[in-house]
C-alpha cells in the first residue's frame, strides 16, 4: 500500500481514535505517541509509517508474538491481540501532521492534561510515552530523561525513545530493550530469571 504526497496531505488534521481495551477490561500498558502522522491518519493505525520501528520493536521485545504490517493498516485481529494483552495506544495530540514539530507547545500541554485524565480514569499499570522532548513540553519537566518518571497515582510512568525513523539514535534492538522494561513493569512480558 502506498500513498501519493497529495493523498497523504488530505489526511492533515484527521484524528486517530485511541486503541484501548473495553471499559472494565484491564489496561496494563498504555503506549503514548506524540501525534498521528499522515500515514497513521490514512490507515487509522498508530505508528503506521513504513519507516516507523514501533511494531518491529514490540515484536523483538516479545510484547507481540505476530508481526504487524503497520503500513497496510492494522487488522481487527491485530487490534484485538493488543487489547487482549491489556495494551492500549493513544497520543498526546490527536490531530495528524506531517511532522511532530508542527505542533505547538500549547497543544502538547493540553494533550498532557487529557492524557492525565485518561490515566486517572483507566488506571493503567504503566504509561509509556514515546518521545522525551514532547514529554518535557507536555508536562513541564524540562530535565526529564528517557527512563522511569515519578508515578501518576498508581501508574508507573516511563519515557521511551521515539520509534520514528527520523530518530537516528535508535535501532529496533535498542527500542526493543527500552520497551521491554516498560512491558515487564506492566506484567505484559515475563521478567527474565536471574
- DSSP assignment of 141-173 equals -TT--SEEEEEETTEEEEEE----TT-TT--HH
Question: CB atoms < 10 A from the CB of 97, how many?
Answer: 19
The residue among 169, 187, 194 whose CA lies nearest residue 124 is 187
Sign of the C-alpha dihedral computed for residues 52, 80, 44 and 99 taken in this order: negative
Where are the chain's structural domains? 5-186
- Structure confidence by residue, pLDDT tens digits, 147-185: 999 999 999 999 999 998 777 789 999 999 999 999 999
pTM: 0.94
Name residue, grid cell 539514535: 169
Per-state percent for the chain, helix, strand, coil, to nearest 5: 40, 15, 45
Name residue, grid cell 502538547: 108
- Structure confidence by residue, pLDDT tens digits, 75-121: 999 999 999 999 999 999 999 999 889 999 999 999 999 999 999 99
For residue 32 the three cell numbers come to: 503514548
Query: Topology of domain 5-186, per CATH?
Result: Uracil-DNA Glycosylase, subunit E (3.40.470)
What phi, psi does 155 have (nearest 5°)?
-90, 130
Amino acid at each position: 500500500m502506498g500513498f501519493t504526497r497529495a493523498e497523504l496531505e488530505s489526511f492533515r488534521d484527521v484524528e486517530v481514535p485511541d486503541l484501548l481495551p473495553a471499559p472494565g477490561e484491564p489496561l496494563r500498558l498504555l503506549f503514548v505517541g506524540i501525534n498521528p502522522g499522515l500515514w497513521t491518519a490514512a490507515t487509522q493505525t498508530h505508528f503506521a509509517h513504513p519507516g516507523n520501528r514501533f511494531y518491529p520493536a514490540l515484536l523483538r521485545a516479545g510484547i507481540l508474538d505476530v508481526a504487524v504490517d503497520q503500513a497496510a493498516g492494522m487488522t481487527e485481529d491485530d487490534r484485538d491481540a493488543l487489547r487482549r494483552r491489556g495494551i492500549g495506544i493513544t497520543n498526546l495530540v490527536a490531530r495528524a501532521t506531517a511532522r511532530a514539530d508542527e505542533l505547538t507547545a500549547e497543544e502538547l500541554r493540553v494533550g498532557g492534561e487529557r492524557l492525565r485524565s485518561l490515566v486517572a480514569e483507566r488506571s493503567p499499570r504503566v504509561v509509556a510515552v514515546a518521545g522525551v522532548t514532547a514529554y518535557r513540553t507536555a508536562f513541564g519537566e524540562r530535565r526529564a530523561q528517557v527512563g522511569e518518571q515519578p508515578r501518576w497515582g498508581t501508574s508507573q510512568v516511563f519515557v521511551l525513545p521515539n520509534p520514528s525513523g527520523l530518530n537516528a539514535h535508535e535501532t529496533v534492538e535498542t527500542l526493543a530493550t527500552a520497551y521491554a522494561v516498560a512491558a515487564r513493569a506492566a506484567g505484559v512480558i515475563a521478567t527474565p530469571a536471574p
